[in-house]
A = this chain, B = another copy of it.
Amino acid sequence: MPGAMPGAFYSFVGGNRGPWRIIEVRAVAGRSIEPAPRLEIVNENLHSLPAGALWLWRGVTSHQRYTHRTEQTALAAVQESPGRPEATCAALIPITKSAAWWALTQDERRAVFEDRSAHIATGLRYLPAIARRLHHCRDLGEPFDFLTWFEYAPHNAAAFDDLVGVLRETEEWNYVEREVDIRLVRDPAHPAP
């Protein structure tokens, strides 16, 4: 039952620590971020920047906002969770949507998101190769509205580029006012637990 449990907090800390080496940072829309060599993901709601860290973003997993039952059934049949040993590549994509997006009503947002942009249907085509976890941040007063974490094996890196490329051409992306694409590789000295 995804979403049935209260949300889990995750803190993303950029600095000199953590199993993920940041290999590329690209501002897709709006301004970029302060470069950091490594990322640590902590499964709790950190209230202050750890010593030596450069940035800290928090998000919470939550119930799904747009998915219908037929879509959820299709997703649940094939989706994978982060943490697979072979998934040594990752992307962290913080996104902020515009005031115009948030002023839309639920039916209007769903129409843009899926009826006209096929966000769910597109994502489904890349499962189970790409594992994904969405974190909501807007209601926490964070700088980004969403943090999405993706993990995949090196031979699926081209598929991942294809996925984000398709999404960025959609009507939904007209409402993205800030997006940073952060690519990472797992340090072999810190394999998946």
Q: What count of chain A residues pass the 8 Å CB interface test? A: 35
Identify which of B62, B64, B99, B140 contacts A4 (C-beta below 8 A).
Answer: B99
Question: Closest Cβ of chain B: how far from A136's Cβ, in Å?
Answer: 6
The segment out of A67-75, A80-88, A123-131, A178-186 that lies at the interface is A67-75
> Once the chains are docked, how many angstroms separate the CA of A149 from the CA of B151?
42
Q: Does A193 contact B (CB under 8 A)?
A: no
Closest to A69 in B: B105
Interface residues of A in 18-73 (CB under 8 A from B): 45, 47, 60, 62-69, 71-72
> Once the chains are docked, how many angstroms separate the CA of A71 from the CA of B105?
9
* Contact between A99 and B1, CB atoms less than 8 A apart: yes
Residues of chain B lying within 8 A (CB to CB) of residue A9: 141
Residues of chain B lying within 8 A (CB to CB) of residue A103: 1-4, 63
- Contacts beyond the supplied A4-B100, A45-B141, A67-B105: 11 A-B pairs with Cβ under 8 Å: A4-B103, A5-B102, A7-B138, A9-B141, A60-B139, A64-B106, A66-B106, A68-B107, A69-B105, A69-B107, A136-B139
A residues with CB within 8 A of B: 1-7, 9, 45, 47, 60, 62-69, 71-72, 99-100, 102-103, 105-108, 110, 136, 138-141
11 example contacts (A-B, Cβ-Cβ < 8 A) are as follows A1-B102, A3-B103, A6-B138, A7-B138, A7-B139, A7-B141, A45-B141, A62-B138, A71-B105, A72-B105, A139-B139
